[in-house]
Amino acid sequence: MRIFRHYQDLPTEARGCSVAIGNFDGVHRGHQAVIHEAGVSSKDLGGPWTVMTFEPHPRMFFKPDQPPFRLTPMRVKAQQVEALGADYMVVLHFDKALSSLSADTFIKEVLVDALGAQHVIAGYDFQFGHDRKGNAELLLAKGREYGYHFTVVRPVTDDDGQPFSSTRVRDCLRSGDPKGAAFVLGRDFEIEGRVEKGDQRGQTIGFPTANLRLGEYMEPTHGVYAIRAGLEIDGHFQWYDGVANLGVRPTVNDRGVLLEVNLFNFDQDIYGQHMRVALADFIRPEKKFDGLDDLKTQIAEDADRAKLILAGHSRII
């Protein structure tokens, strides 16, 4: 999949596309339906399969002081879109200039003139343009004017009629339900980052950890998780079972939120490497212990519990 960070002067082979458009944070099962519809259309019409999205997320632009909330930062979102099979991903820089474009201008300049879109696909709740005045009805009306097809994808729901949504994923993660989040996403929720070198206190108690900062990711509820961690080796990810603590480490009075990952039967030096950490299940909330001996005993119990969980858990990718 080729990624463009602009919409101007796209190569000829990228024009005439069927394009799915949205923020797609999480690339959950509802988003996947929108993107899949563009793929079906591209086969029918003969043009490329394109996904258009926005970075930073508009919510970050309009409310820069709010806590991190992302489910899939740009790198991860691109990985998930590529895995679905898209040919191109057009990532528009969301800034004051783009946010000031009227919905009509966005359709004409971006979708029609720049992409030469044959078919536009969007979710039922997608809004765009200055003051969010663009919606499915406008896309449909302008399609008749400019000659592109338009499809709105209705809510994708579970058997109980509850829609799959990014908000639902966040609610699951905040309530300590990573399995519920995985159901909505269609895969385990992952946190990806570069392994930092910490104070190496874990090594002194027999549980060395690989530490990751959350960055743009939302904070799932603090506590201990059964996890699987992926490390890239020769272009492929190799996965390892483990246990992780997400939080502020109150026993040692450290500051700042870290994801501390202990991999079972693993002793390689991986500082500086990128790691993917999939949350399989929640074990317990984070808590403060009387000392390192109590902490060591609890970590051993957590590790045993994680091994039992992972023995019956198939990683969803």
Per residue in 127-148, pLDDT (tens digit) is 999 999 999 999 999 999 999 9
pLDDT in tens, 49-76: 999 999 999 999 999 899 999 999 999 9
DSSP characters over 74-100: HHHHHHHHHHHT-SEEEEEE-SHHHHH
**What is the pLDDT confidence band of residue 271, given thresholds at 50, 70 and 90?**
confident
Under a CB-based contact definition with an 8 Å cutoff, are residues 111 and 149 in contact? no
pLDDT of residue 252: 56
pLDDT in tens, 174-194: 999 999 999 999 999 999 999
Instruction: Please give the model's pTM, rounded to 2 decimal places.
Output: 0.92
Please give the structure tokens belonging to residue 120. 């536009």
Of 261, 181, 168, residue with least CA distance to 214: 261
Instruction: Give per-residue pLDDT as tens, 279-304.
Output: 999 999 988 776 677 778 888 999 99
pLDDT in tens, 242-256: 999 999 866 555 668
- Paired strand residues for 196: 211
Q: Matching CATH topology for 2-153 and 189-311?
A: no
**Yes or no: is domain 2-153 CATH 3.40.50.620?**
yes
Q: Which residue has the tokens 């563009």?
A: 38
In eight-state DSSP terms, residue 65 is T
Could you give the angle at the alpha carbon of 75 between the alpha carbons of 72 and 81, nearest 5°?
Answer: 75
Residue-wise pLDDT for 199-250, tens only, equals: 555 554 457 889 999 999 999 999 999 999 999 877 788 999 999 999 986 6
Domain 189-311: state its class.
mainly beta
Domain boundaries defined on the chain: 2-153, 189-311
Q: Between 166-174 and 178-185, two packed helices, what is the crossing angle to 10 degrees?
A: 170
Rounded Cα–Cα distance for residues 109 and 229 (Å) = 43
